[in-house]
Amino acid sequence: MKNSQFMQVRLLILLLFCALSAVARAQASREPQLIRDTDVAEGKDEIEKPTVKEPNPKLAEQNITIGNYYLKQQNYAAAILRFLEAIEYKKDSYQAYDGLIRAYEKNGEIPKAIDACKGFLDKNPDSPKAPDFRNRLARLEKKPG
């Protein structure tokens, strides 16, 4: 009788161990994933190659919001990437171009800020914001870069 009770206890322990490992594996798979631009935010160099994106104003707005957050945090490299992504989703977004130009300017990349101004004006010459961008372009071209 003792031998069968011992075998039952061993079987119960084995089943309990298997159940606990399954629970642990399930919890491990639910751990939060890092956001994809963490490496950029931390200053690491490897950046994914861009893909062609379908127009999506909602995603553009989300990227602008995140880009503005990064600007406030003075993480200009991450802000630049977010504004560039917003432009991919909405080509005529003056908010995205405005943020991109500010981020380039704060990061000391005046030639890129000038190119961004020209890019907006080339793509949107009839925009109500075009005069503002022309004035900004003139101011940027006077800066040493």
Number of domains forming the structure of the chain: 2
80 and 53 in a common domain: yes
Residue 14: its pLDDT value, please? 74
76 and 98 in a common domain: yes
High-pLDDT (> 90) share of the chain, %: 61
99 and 83 in a common domain: yes
45 and 116 in a common domain: yes
pLDDT digits (tens, 9 = 90+) for 104-138: 999 999 999 999 999 999 999 999 999 999 999 99
Closest by CA position to 47, among listed 19, 79, 81, 72? 81
Residue 15: its pLDDT value, please? 73
Residues in contact with 102: Cβ distance below 8 Å, sequence separation at least 6, in sequence order:
71
CATH number at residue 82: 1.25.40.10
90 and 46 in a common domain: yes
Per the structure, the complete domain to which residue 104 belongs is given by 38-142
Give the mean model confidence (pLDDT) for residues 8-30.
69
The model's confidence at residue 48, banded by pLDDT at 50, 70 and 90, is low
Give the mean model confidence (pLDDT) for residues 63-81.
96
Closest by CA position to 78, among listed 109, 47, 49? 47
44 and 21 in a common domain: no
The model's confidence at residue 40, banded by pLDDT at 50, 70 and 90, is low
Give the mean model confidence (pLDDT) for residues 28-52.
58
Residue 70: its pLDDT value, please? 96
Name the residue type at position 97.
Answer: Y
